[in-house]
Structure 1
Amino acid sequence: MLAVFDDRMRKNAPPDAPGAYVERVGDVVRQTGPDAAWNGVLWSALDRSRVDEAIAEQVDHYTALGREFEWKLYGHDQPDDLADRLEAAGFVPEEPETLMVARIADLPTSSAPPTGIELRPVTDAAGVELMAQAQEEAFGRDGTRHRQQLLAQLTERPDTVVAVVAMAGDVPVSAARMELVPGTGFAGLWGGGTVPAWRGRGIYRALIDFRAHIAAERGYQYLQVDASDQSRPILERLGFTALTTTTPYVYRPRLAA
């Protein structure tokens, strides 16, 4: 399954945002897009003799565009000191996560939201604002970029994204989205966050079930999650399997020496 994931979702990944493109340059596959889009390296197959040169090439490419970018490093990527080389080049690692995958047909078929919670599809700017409010409180960080990304997707590529917000009356308490990747069989679950006062009540699980049903209806076979330590136990209980780790290494040109 890891080999299938690498082939479909990294090595041959389609662009995931309006105005973005994916290209292979030597032994690196990268996505380049507008500033609000995700920019970064999806896959690489580097040996020790060329790794530093390839890292420098990516830095030059994105710096020339004024883009912050991410080298998405997986636990099985080579060479085995790639993380050290990225840090030496000025990349800053963020928190590692666990790549988890499940076959949709093997997941539990029903997980209703708790009493008093309504799951509401997000289809317009008003819904995006509610979603952003929930995620900003859940994660404690500004959601401006995610607002821009989601609004662009809903406007220009609505068939590739599903977003949902959990409402307690008029108050948004949790939110999540799903990226549908055409031609791969994979749908990615992203951004699942619940405000602290509402955690532990089954909302996160209900959001997974909501998105899994839609993915299955649209012909997708697998769900993929980059799971935090907090969400991994829930996903394991549902039937997701851990394949490897993934760590974002971020390069910010404005902070570079």
Structure 2
Amino acid sequence: MDHAGVLALFDHDMREGARPDGLDARVEPVGGVVRRVASARGWNGVVWSDLAEADAVIAGQIAYFSRLGLEFEWKLYGHDLPVDLGQRLRAAGFEPEPGETLMIAEAARLDLDAEPPEGIRLLPVTDAAGVDLLVDVHEQAFGADGSRMRHQLLARLTGEPDTIVATVALAGDVPVSAARMELVPGTRFAGLWGGGTVEAWRGRGVYRALVAHRARAAVERGYRYLQVDASSQSRPILERMGFAPLTTTTPYTYVP
């Protein structure tokens, strides 16, 4: 895989050419940035930037989202310019969250035969009951409130069901792992998000099986690449499966 070429393609498709991914969302290219604007229960932030006057543009985005009363995120990638953009964001009042690694693979080249371990079955999430199971896993695995995720998943499944593939892994009737894949029509990338496993089931191959399951779904739908913002825990698993680390990504959050 041509790493530099694929990274440039990712920037073009998923950042500079970002598309709305929700019924209540809009994407606005303005003043050197591309920003996504949604309701308070959606994701709001800057997904791409090309800055000459960085401080002025940062101040403009703070003013814009503050007028709307919205918390927002500036999604900074390791190759973004200027090189001190992270320092400038912190100076303007943004708080950085833990960084992750942008990893990309050609979906058809992965090991797609990885099956769930014995005693685990995969359940497609198609309704509110399935969303509740997925959110339960998310809250256990990450220790985070899942109310915003519940709202977003229900909205996608109701209004745009072809843009998401969500799955829960069950041990009997108990949800032990879950993940989703978000699809943006017209792009070549499918995004893998939210892969989390409760502590008692980690290290048994459940996460790997969920990656393979979503990769098969991406290939069936005609997507060439899979993209993951990988934590330090998932990165080694993904590298063994054939994902390549291309750059870093760090969310910078601003609360009005």
Q: TM-score range by the shorter chain?
A: over 0.9
Aligned partner of 1:22 in structure 2 is 27
Taking the aligned partners of 1:140 and 1:25, their CA distance within structure 2 comes to 36
Q: 2:103 aligns with which of 97, 100, 104?
A: 100
Matched, 1:197 2:195: no
Q: Normalising by structure 1, what TM-score?
A: 0.96
Which letter does structure 1 place at the counterpart of 2:8? A
Q: Normalising by structure 2, what TM-score?
A: 0.97
Q: Shift in Å at residue 109 of structure 1?
A: 2.3
Taking the aligned partners of 1:135 and 1:58, their CA distance within structure 2 comes to 31
Q: Shift in Å at residue 19 of structure 1?
A: 1.3
- Please show how residues 55-74 of structure 1 align to structure 2 within 5 Å: 55-74=58-77
Taking the aligned partners of 2:22 and 2:236, their CA distance within structure 1 comes to 30
Aligned partner of 1:226 in structure 2 is 229
Taking the aligned partners of 2:122 and 2:212, their CA distance within structure 1 comes to 11
Q: For each residue in 1:3-55, what CA deviation from the matched residue of structure 2 results, as whole angstroms up to 9, or x when unmatched?
A: 000000000011112210111102110000111111100100112xx111100
Q: For each residue in 1:193-239, what CA deviation from the matched residue of structure 2 results, as whole angstroms up to 9, or x when unmatched?
A: 00000000000000001111111111110000000000000000000
Taking the aligned partners of 1:23 and 1:125, their CA distance within structure 2 comes to 31
Q: 2:174 aligns with which of 171, 174, 191?
A: 171
Q: For each residue in 1:75-96, what CA deviation from the matched residue of structure 2 results, as whole angstroms up to 9, or x when unmatched?
A: 0101111001100111000000
Q: Shift in Å at residue 66 of structure 1?
A: 1.1
Residue aligned with 1:134, SS: helix
Structure 1: 5+ residue stretches without partners: none
Aligned partner of 2:81 in structure 1 is 78
Residue aligned with 1:192, SS: strand
Structure 2: 5+ residue stretches without partners: 1-5
- Please show how residues 149-188 of structure 1 align to structure 2 within 5 Å: 149-188=152-191
Taking the aligned partners of 1:157 and 1:63, their CA distance within structure 2 comes to 29
Aligned partner of 1:143 in structure 2 is 146
Aligned partner of 2:3 in structure 1 is none
Q: 4+ residue runs of structure 1 moved beyond 4 angstroms?
A: none
Taking the aligned partners of 1:190 and 1:148, their CA distance within structure 2 comes to 16
Which letter does structure 1 place at the counterpart of 2:219? A
Aligned partner of 2:7 in structure 1 is 2
Aligned residue pairs, count: 251
- Please show how residues 107-122 of structure 1 align to structure 2 within 5 Å: 107-122=110-125
Between the aligned residues of both structures, percent identity stands at 65
RMSD of equivalent CA atoms: 0.7
Which letter does structure 1 place at the counterpart of 2:214? R
Taking the aligned partners of 2:102 and 2:90, their CA distance within structure 1 comes to 22
